[in-house]
């Protein structure tokens, strides 16, 4: 596992990105991709910070944060910030590409831990499928993830 700490300037960048994303949401009338209802600015902000933390870890920040309609970092990395103990991945028909890399991040308030990662097709196996949660999805436990240091770093 790898720890990443965002400094004040990086957190300000995340705050700016949050404003841009919220503006796009209001302008387009977009609803949450996975059915989250209501305003959850805290979750959105931590998710953006987690994306920035992964980009920083991979030496790809700040321009690697792409926004709606593209990967979270670089060309094929999707970042999943969570307070839980599993990486959450959805079915391909719900938008999670089996060819993408999914990275699990925990933490808050500028201090993040990259728990691990796995390619989408490896996450989207029947043994990880869970229906006992709000929206059925694949939940991959941390021990099944690849170590962060195995992510390609330029």
Distance of alpha carbon 54 from alpha carbon 47, whole angstroms: 11
Say if residues 80 and 104 touch (Cβ distance below 8 Å): yes
CA–CA dist 91, 79 (Å, integer): 16
Residue 89: predicted pLDDT: 93
5 vs 114: CA distance, rounded Å:
11
Tokens of 68: 């709606």
Query: Residue 33 has what pLDDT?
Result: 54
pLDDT in tens, the chain (154 residues): 699 999 999 999 998 888 887 766 655 555 555 555 555 678 889 999 999 999 999 998 655 555 556 788 888 899 999 998 999 999 998 889 999 999 999 999 999 999 999 999 999 999 999 999 988 999 999 999 999 999 876 5
Beta strand extents in 28-151 (DSSP E only): 77-81, 86-89, 101-108, 111-119, 129-130, 137-141
| pLDDT of res. 145 | 97
Can you read off the two tokens belonging to residue 54? 């992964």
DSSP 132: S
Q: What is the structure's pLDDT at 81?
A: 94
């Amino acid at each position: 596992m790898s720890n990443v700490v965002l400094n004040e300037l990086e957190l300000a960048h995340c705050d700016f990105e949050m404003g841009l994303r919220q503006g796009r949401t209001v302008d387009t009338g977009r609803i949450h991709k996975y059915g989250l209802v209501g305003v959850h600015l805290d979750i959105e902000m931590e998710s953006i910070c987690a994306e920035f933390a992964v980009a920083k870890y991979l030496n790809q920040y700040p321009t690697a944060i792409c926004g709606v309609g593209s990967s979270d970092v670089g060309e094929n990395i999707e970042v999943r910030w969570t307070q839980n103990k599993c990486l959450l991945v959805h079915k391909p028909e719900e938008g999670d590409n089996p060819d993408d890399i999914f990275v699990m991040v925990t933490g808050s308030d500028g201090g993040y831990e990259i728990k691990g990662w796995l390619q989408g097709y490896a996450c989207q196996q029947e043994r990880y499928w869970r229906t006992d949660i709000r929206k059925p999805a694949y939940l991959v436990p941390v021990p099944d993830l690849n170590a962060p240091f195995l992510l390609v770093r330029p």
